[in-house]
Structure formats: C-alpha cells, structure tokens
C-alpha cells in the first residue's frame, strides 16, 4: 500500500515537472529586465538610432534584413549589428528570432 502511494505521488510530481517544463520552461531568461530600466533604455535608444519594425519570413536573418533596410552592411561590424538588434529588442539574441514574429531592426545610413 505504501509503495503504491509513493509511486502515485512520484508520478504526479514527475508529470507536473514535465508539464511545467513544456509550458513555462526552466532555463532562466537573461533578457528580462525591470520595467523602469527597460522603458528608459528604449526611450533613449529610439531617439539615438532609427529602426524599422519587420515581420520575419522564412530564410530571413538579422543580417539580411539589416542589409535590405540599410542598402548594405559592408562597412558595419557584425558585432555592432548584433548589439544594436539586441538592445532594440530587450536582449533577444539574433539567433533566437522566430518566423512570423515582429522585431525592431536598426537602420544604418551610409555615414556609419
């Protein structure tokens, strides 16, 4: 009787763990910030850098979208593009973009 009760409780805990992992995840997100800090950074960032909001299509990468918006990225460092993209999107890494989602992409002018 005790073994059956232990097995039932163990199965319930394991089931809940799997459910939580699938729906909420267990990996901490480094992109979460306090709302006050995030709002301030976004306000400052929007005044300094122009950006365009773009929906990602299959095959798109951050670099290809920035090239389309800016004409070329030959004179830009990839590190700067990655840093600016992450800053405009609250810490989202370029490799984490998803098809069908909308993101802010920096626009660079020929003078950069």
pLDDT tens-digit map of 13-36 = 998 888 777 777 665 554 444 444
CA–CA dist 82, 105 (Å, integer): 10
**Is 33-106 CATH 3.40.50.300?**
no
pTM comes to: 0.54
Assign 60 a pLDDT band (cuts: 50, 70, 90).
Answer: very high
Quote the tokens at residue 54.
């773009």
Start-to-end CA distance of the chain, whole Å, equals 74
pLDDT at residue 27, as a whole number: 59
pLDDT at residue 104, as a whole number: 94
Domain boundaries, the chain: 33-106
Cα atoms found within 13 Å of the Cα of residue 110, Cβ hemisphere only? 1
């Amino acid at each position: 009787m005790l073994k059956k009760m232990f097995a039932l409780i163990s199965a319930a805990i394991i089931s809940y763990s799997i459910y939580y992992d699938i729906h909420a995840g267990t990996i901490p997100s480094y992109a979460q910030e306090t709302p006050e800090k995030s709002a301030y950074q976004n306000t400052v960032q929007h005044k300094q850098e122009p950006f365009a909001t773009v929906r990602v299509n299959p095959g798109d990468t951050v670099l290809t979208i920035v090239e389309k918006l800016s004409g070329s990225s030959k004179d830009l460092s990839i590190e700067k593009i990655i840093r600016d993209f992450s800053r405009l999107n609250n810490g989202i890494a370029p490799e984490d973009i998803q098809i069908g989602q909308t993101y802010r992409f920096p626009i660079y002018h020929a003078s950069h």
